[in-house]
Structure 1
Amino acid sequence: MTVRSTGFVAKSLATLLVGGLVAMFSPTTAVAAPEYSTSEAGNPFVDGWYADPDIAVYDGKYWVYPTASKAYAEQTYLDAFSSTDLVHWTKHSNILKAADVSWAKYAVWAPAPVERGGKYYLYFAANDIQNNSQLGGIGVAVADRPEGPYKDALGKPLISQFHNGAQPIDQDVFIDDDGQAYMYYGGWHHSNVVKLNPDMTSLGTFDDGSTYKEITPENYTEGSYMFKRNGKYYFMWSEGGWTGPDYSVSYAMADSPTGPFTKIDKVLAQDPAVAKGSGHNSVVNVPGTDTWYIVYHRRPLSESDGNHRQLAYDRMYFNPDGTIRRIAMQVKDNFADNNALGWKTYGGTWSAGGGQYRVGRGLGGKALLDTDFADFTYDADVTVTSGGGDAGLMFRVSSPAVGWDSYSGYYAGISPSGKVVLGRANGSWTELATARTAVGSNSAHSMRVTAVGSSIKVFVDDMTTPKISVSDGTYRSGANGVRVFDTAASFGNVAIAPAG
C-alpha cells in the first residue's frame, strides 16, 4: 500500500533507506533517519526523459512510476524505478504496454500505484480523449508484484467520460486510515474525487448518492495529488502550461478527504538558475519519521522540447501550523549513485564512481551543469591526482566547447604544488590573481567560490579567509562546472546555492 500518512505501516516491514537514510520500522519500533536536503547524488535521479512521477513504498523499497515523456504516438508503455535508499535506482522496463490494453492506443499517462490485499494496482490514463464520443480515459491494471507485468483489469476504462468538465486524466489514488480508497483526477482546469470500492476496480458513491464530486481549487490545471499528515488532508495540483516555464505546484489543506479545498500557496515553481517547468508531483513520507520529499518533473534550462522532462526530488518541510514551506530546487551531486546525470562534458575522459567524478589528464577537459547562477556559493572537493597543471571550479560560463579556453566565464583552480589561480576566458586566458596554499599528501582540497556582483572570492580548505578576492564584472551569470588543465583530477561533494 502506498505510504502517505504518518503512523501508517506498509504491508511488509523492512529496512528502508540504507546508506545515509535508514529507517527500520515495525508496528512497535521506529528508528529516526538522517535526512537528505535534496537528491544529494544529483537531479535528475534517473536517466531518460520522464514526467508525472508517482511514488510508493512497497516492502522496504521506493517505487517511482512515471510517464514516458515522448510524443503522444510513442507514449505506449510505462517503466518503473525502484530503490532502497533513494540513491541507487533500478529500472524496470515495460511494466505496462498499450499493446496489452485493448482500448489504449497512445498517450499512456501519469501512472498512480497502490497496493491492496496483496495485489498491486496501477491506474493510468490513455488516448487523451477530447470529448465523450472518443474511446479512452482512466484505466486500472493489476499485478502480483510491484514491477509487474501489469494487466488491464477491466477491458475498458474505469472512467471514460467527462464529468463536471474534468478530462479523465492525471489520476491519483489515496487510501485513508479507515480503509476507504479515493481517486482524485482531472484535466482541463477541473478536478473530481470519486470513491473506489474495496475491489479497487469499481466506483462507489457518496452519502448523497453522487459518484463524482468536483473539488476544483483556484488556478487548478491538472496533476491531482493527495496525502495526509497529522490528521490533515493535503491536496496538491499543477497549474500553468505543461510546456511553459510557469508550470508549478500549489496546495490546499482540509479536515476531510473531499474538501473543501482552498488554495494556500504555490510551493514549487521554476528557478531560472536551476530548472523550468517544475510540476506534476507526488510526495513520499519516510516511514517511521516526519521526513518528506516531493517528487516531480522539470525541464533543463537549455532544453526547448516540451517533452524533454526529467525526474527530480527535493526535501519538503512543514511549518509548525502544518502549512508547507516553499520548496527550493537545490543543486548538489556527491556522485554516490556512481553516475554523472545532468553533467555535459567538453573534452577529456570522464567517469563517476566511489563518490568521485574523475577525469584523465588533459588540456582543458570540462564538465558543466545546466545552471545559470549569477550570485552564488559554489563548493566542491578537488583532488589533483597527476600532472603539472591545475584543476578546479568553473562558473558564470557560457558558450562552452572542446578546447583549452573555449568558453566564456571564470575558472578557479589549484595545482599539485598548492598554487591557486583565478582567471577568466573568452577563447583566450586572462589571469586575475594567484595565491598559495598548504598541500597534503594526496593533494585533496575543499574549494569554495563565492560570487556576488563583481566581487569574487576563492577559498581553499580554510572557509573563513579567502585565498583570492578580486573585483571583476565581465561575466554576470552562467553555468557551473569543473575543469582540468594538464592534470588528472577527481571532484566530489558539489553544491551550489544562491548567495545569502
Structure 2
Amino acid sequence: MSMARLWRVAALVGVSALASGSIAEAQSPIVQTRFTADPAPLVHDGVVYLYTSHDEDDAEGFRMLDWRLYSSIDMVNWTDRGAVASLKTFPWAVQDNDAWAPQVVERDGKFYLYAPVSVAGSPKNVIAVAVADRPEGPFKDALGKPLIAPGKDNIDPTVWIDKNGQAYLYWGNPDLWYVKLNRDMVSYAGPITKVQPRIADYQEGPWFYGRAGRYYMAFASTCCSEGIGYAMSDGPTGPWTYKGPIMDHDRRATGNHPGIIDYKGGSYLFGFSYELNFAMTPMHHERRSVSVARFSYNPDGTIPNLHWWDATSAPQIELLDPYRRVEAETIAWTSRMPRDRDRAYAWAPGVTTAQDDRVGVYVTRTVDRSYIKVAGVDFGKAGAKSFTAGVTGGRAGATIELRLDRADGPVIGALPAVDVGERWQERTTPVSNAIGRHDLFLVFRNTGEHSTLGIDYWRFGQ
C-alpha cells in the first residue's frame, strides 16, 4: 500500500495498532500541525528533544523564520514545545528569511543552539550561536555577532563533544568544513579546515557523532534527488570512509537532513520528506515534514540501509499514563474526518497549535470533525471514571468526543465545551468503558468551520 493510501485510511478511521494487540508505531511524518525540516534530536534527562527548522505554510521556495521544539518519551507521541528561537534572537541577522538547519548541544548545564543565518550586504551565510539554561529555552544570542564569518558553504552546523572534552563544529554545502570549539562553546581555536578528499556522495546536512569508539558523519547525499548517506572514521577529524546509503536517493526528495541518536536501548534516524505537501497539492513547494525510524547497527558498527519512510518506522517504547496531566499538544496524529466516508481523499489538515502567555502552547483550529490521536494509552484494569480538560472558547453545541482506537470508534465520554468564554477554565465529564490499552481519539464536534475552542491539557480520573 502506498503512503498516500495509508494516509487516506489513517485520516479516515485512525487505524489503531494496539486495538489488534500489536505495538503502536510512529506515524510518518511525526508532526502534522505545521511543516518541519532539518531534525536535530537531543537526549537529555530521559527525554528526546527534537529541534527543527520550520517551513511557513505559504512557502513556495524556502521561507523560514524560526526554530521549533518537540519532545517525546515514547517516540510516537510528540509534544509541541513551541518556537524556542527565531530570527529575532539574532537582531543583527536578516529578519525576513533564512532560519535554516539548527542543532542544540548541552555542556556544563547550558544549551547551545547553532544555526545558519544571513547578514545584510553579503550573499553568504554565517553561523550564529544562542544559549539557554533549559532545553526548552528561551535561547538568547550568545555573541551579538556571528561565530563563523560569511562563507559560501556556511550552512547546516553540527556539533559533537568528544570523550576527551574537545568539541568539534562541522558544517557545509557542497564542501565539508570543521573547527575545534573552545570549552566555552562560543569561540574556536585553530584553523577552519576543509575535509579533503570530499566524502563520496556528500551534499549537505552533516550530522557528526561518536559511538563505541567510532566516528560517524551522516549527511544528505548528492542532489537531486537526495537520500541519506554516511561515512565512518577512527578519529574525529577523519580520514572519512564512505560506507553507503542509509536511505537511497529517492525521487520524492529534493532535500534531506539526518539526525541520529541512541535512546532507551534503541538507535533512531530522523530525516524529512515532502509527503504532507504532496498530500495537499501536486505542486512541489519547500514544505517539509520530519519522520523517524528505529534501526540496529551491524556488528561491525555499520548502519543498514533503511530504504524510505514508507518502509520503516519506530515502535512505541512506553505507554502513556492518562492519569497525569497530559499537554493537549501531545499528538501522534491529527487530521480531519470527511463528511462522506466513502469518498477517498488524501490527508486533511487537523488541529494546529499556538502559544499564549497565560498557558504556553495549546491546541487550536479545532474545527468540526478534526481530531487528535494519542497512541498507546494505558487506562489499567480499573479503568477511568472521569475526563478533565483545560479549555477556552467554544460555541453552543460544541463537544470533545472521547473515542477509543479509531476516530469513529466507541465513545467513552463527551466533554461539553460551550459558554466557556475567552478565559481558560477546567471542565470535567464522566467516562465509562475506558479500560486497558487503547489509542485515544479526541474528536472535535459541532465546533464550526472557524472554531474558537482551545484546549491546553487533559487528564483522566479514577
Secondary structure in 2 aligned to 1:279? coil
The question of 1:254 aligning with 2:194 is answered no
Number of residue pairs matched by the alignment: 310
Q: Classify 1:383/1:85 alpha carbon distance in 2 versus 1 (closer, same or farther; 3 Å).
A: closer
1:180 corresponds to which letter in structure 2? Q
Name the CA distance, whole Å, in 1 between partners of 2:110 and 2:315: 37
Report Cα offsets for 1:137-189 as digits up to 9, x if no partner. Answer: 10000011111111111111111232xxx5111000001111110011001x1
Q: Classify 1:343/1:266 alpha carbon distance in 2 versus 1 (closer, same or farther; 3 Å).
A: farther
Residue identity (%): 32
Larger-gyration structure (1/2): 1
1:42: which partner in 2? 27
Report Cα offsets for 1:69-114 as digits up to 9, x if no partner. Answer: 2347842211111112222222122211212312222201111100
1:122: which partner in 2? 113
User: Which structure 2 residues correspond to residues 40-439 of structure 1 after superposition, within 5 A?
Assistant: 40-47=25-32, 48-70=34-56, 71=59, 74-105=63-94, 106-127=97-118, 133-134=122-123, 136-162=125-151, 167-187=153-173, 189-205=174-190, 210-215=191-196, 216-241=198-223, 244=224, 246-269=225-248, 276-277=253-254, 279-287=256-264, 289=265, 291-300=266-275, 302=279, 303-328=282-307, 329=309, 330=311, 339-341=332-334, 345=338, 347-348=340-341, 351=371, 353=373, 355=375
2:446: which partner in 1? none
2:177 corresponds to which letter in structure 1? N
Name the CA distance, whole Å, in 2 between partners of 1:144 and 1:82: 17
2:433: which partner in 1? none
- Whether the 8 Å CA contact 1:66–1:79 is kept in 2: the answer is yes
Q: Classify 1:145/1:345 alpha carbon distance in 2 versus 1 (closer, same or farther; 3 Å).
A: same
Name the CA distance, whole Å, in 2 between partners of 1:118 and 1:382: 43
Deviation at 1:385, TM superposition (A): 6.9
Q: Please report the RMSD computed on the Cα atoms of aligned residues, expressed in angstroms.
A: 3.3
Name the CA distance, whole Å, in 2 between partners of 1:334 and 1:346: 31
Name the CA distance, whole Å, in 1 between partners of 2:153 and 2:237: 19
Name the CA distance, whole Å, in 2 between partners of 1:155 and 1:326: 42
- Whether the 8 Å CA contact 1:50–1:66 is kept in 2: the answer is yes
More helix by share: 2
Q: Classify 1:342/1:320 alpha carbon distance in 2 versus 1 (closer, same or farther; 3 Å).
A: farther
1:115 corresponds to which letter in structure 2? E
- Whether the 8 Å CA contact 1:128–1:169 is kept in 2: the answer is no
Q: TM-score, normalized by length of structure 1?
A: 0.56
1:307 corresponds to which letter in structure 2? E
- Whether the 8 Å CA contact 1:107–1:128 is kept in 2: the answer is no
| Structure 1: stretches of 5+ with no match in the other structure | 1-19, 21-34, 357-380, 387-500
- Whether the 8 Å CA contact 1:181–1:196 is kept in 2: the answer is yes
- Whether the 8 Å CA contact 1:43–1:331 is kept in 2: the answer is no
Q: Classify 1:345/1:101 alpha carbon distance in 2 versus 1 (closer, same or farther; 3 Å).
A: same
2:228 corresponds to which letter in structure 1? V
Deviation at 1:231, TM superposition (A): 0.6
Name the CA distance, whole Å, in 1 between partners of 2:305 and 2:335: 24
Deviation at 1:307, TM superposition (A): 1.4
Deviation at 1:240, TM superposition (A): 3.1
Deviation at 1:353, TM superposition (A): 4.4
Q: Classify 1:262/1:304 alpha carbon distance in 2 versus 1 (closer, same or farther; 3 Å).
A: farther
Name the CA distance, whole Å, in 2 between partners of 1:176 and 1:49: 33
1:52 corresponds to which letter in structure 2? D
- Whether the 8 Å CA contact 2:293–2:312 is kept in 1: the answer is no
- Whether the 8 Å CA contact 2:371–2:407 is kept in 1: the answer is no
- Whether the 8 Å CA contact 1:269–1:277 is kept in 2: the answer is no
Secondary structure in 2 aligned to 1:280? coil
Q: Classify 1:143/1:230 alpha carbon distance in 2 versus 1 (closer, same or farther; 3 Å).
A: same
Name the CA distance, whole Å, in 2 between partners of 1:102 and 1:382: 47
Name the CA distance, whole Å, in 2 between partners of 1:92 and 1:383: 25
Secondary structure in 2 aligned to 1:160? strand
Report Cα offsets for 1:283-319 as digits up to 9, x if no partner. Answer: 01015x3x21101111115553331210100122222
| Structure 2: stretches of 5+ with no match in the other structure | 1-16, 321-329, 342-368, 377-404, 411-462
1:178 corresponds to which letter in structure 2? N
- Whether the 8 Å CA contact 1:56–1:284 is kept in 2: the answer is yes
Q: TM-score, normalized by length of structure 2?
A: 0.60
2:269 corresponds to which letter in structure 1? I
Name the CA distance, whole Å, in 2 between partners of 1:334 and 1:136: 38
Name the CA distance, whole Å, in 2 between partners of 1:159 and 1:385: 54
- Whether the 8 Å CA contact 1:138–1:168 is kept in 2: the answer is yes
Report Cα offsets for 1:305-346 as digits up to 9, x if no partner. Answer: 331210100122222222111013236799987653478856
Q: Classify 1:169/1:255 alpha carbon distance in 2 versus 1 (closer, same or farther; 3 Å).
A: same
- Whether the 8 Å CA contact 1:339–1:351 is kept in 2: the answer is no
Q: Classify 1:382/1:310 alpha carbon distance in 2 versus 1 (closer, same or farther; 3 Å).
A: closer
- Whether the 8 Å CA contact 1:76–1:107 is kept in 2: the answer is yes
- Whether the 8 Å CA contact 1:138–1:169 is kept in 2: the answer is yes
Secondary structure in 2 aligned to 1:45? coil
Name the CA distance, whole Å, in 1 between partners of 2:214 and 2:315: 35
Report Cα offsets for 1:436-472 as digits up to 9, x if no partner. Answer: xxxxxxxxxxxxxxxxxxxxxxxxxxxxxxxxxxxxx
